[in-house]
């Protein structure tokens, strides 16, 4: 049985590690999303080398080439139209998007954030989590809205904060969770298992709940019935 695959464009600014995890997931023909293009706002983004190695078309649309943010976003929108994009995934894209652009792509644009939203919106999330004495940290995939890091949550993954963690070790642990979580969230959106309605994420009736995968706990929907409290306790030192 053939799967109708949603045409997906990934937007990056840097190394593209989450982009690579999405490309790898979508390399399976059964995956419900197809990566059809990459857009970067930086010509020297390392992720562009990954895209080239995978044979994916990429466009560099640099802010400095345009007179305003609106003109820059209009060029991005034109590129998305050229790619015939149905879903947009922000994967380390570091520029704020204009309200008009976000409104046009709302409910079809996803972002991954290295914290358990709504905690630690913005930058330096790992350092802030350590400073706050958090025992649990993680990452979130959400729909993009005009307010930064505030869109409806699609999926989250939690990792332990160890007593000897540094910002670097915690960031590395969260990044592993990100690489698992983003393909899971994209799959859900592409299949219609998660959609944005009335400013909230609405989930289809699915049992797609993953626990303890790769040393972290991820939940793409509400945990159903029994919760294994002993298992959850293992995530705190």
DSSP per position, 213-227:
BTTBEEESS---S--
Are 40 and 58 spatial neighbours (Cβ–Cβ below 8 Å)?
yes
List the catalytic residue out of 113, 126, 142, 180: 113
Four-residue CA torsion sign, 194, 195, 200, 205: negative
Active site residue 113: yes
Reference 172, options 161, 184, 186; nearest CA is: 161
DSSP per position, 143-191:
E--SSTT-SPEEEEEEEE--TT--HHHHHHHHHHHHHHHHHHHHHHHHH
**What residues are labeled active site?**
113
């Amino acid at each position: 049985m053939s799967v109708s695959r949603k045409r997906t464009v990934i937007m990056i600014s840097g190394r593209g590690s989450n982009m690579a995890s999405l490309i790898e997931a979508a390399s399976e023909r059964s995956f419900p999303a197809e990566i059809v293009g990459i857009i970067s706002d930086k010509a020297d983004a390392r992720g562009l080398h990954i895209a080239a190695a995978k044979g994916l078309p990429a466009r560099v649309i640099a802010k400095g080439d345009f007179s305003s943010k609106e003109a820059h976003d209009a060029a991005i929108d034109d590129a998305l139209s050229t790619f015939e994009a149905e879903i947009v995934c922000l994967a380390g894209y570091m520029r704020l998007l204009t309200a008009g652009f976000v409104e046009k792509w709302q409910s079809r644009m996803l972002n991954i954030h290295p914290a358990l939203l709504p905690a630690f919106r913005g930058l330096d999330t790992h350092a802030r989590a350590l400073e706050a004495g958090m025992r649990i940290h993680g990452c979130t995939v959400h729909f993009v809205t005009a307010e930064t890091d505030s869109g409806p949550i699609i999926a989250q993954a939690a990792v332990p904060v160890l007593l000897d963690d540094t910002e670097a070790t915690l960031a590395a642990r969260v990044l592993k969770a990100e690489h698992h979580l983003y393909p899971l969230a994209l799959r859900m959106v592409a299949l219609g298992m998660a959609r944005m309605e009335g400013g909230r994420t609405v989930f289809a009736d699915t049992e797609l709940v993953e626990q303890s995968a790769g040393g972290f706990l991820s939940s793409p929907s509400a945990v159903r019935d029994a919760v294994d409290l002993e298992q959850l306790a293992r995530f705190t030192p």
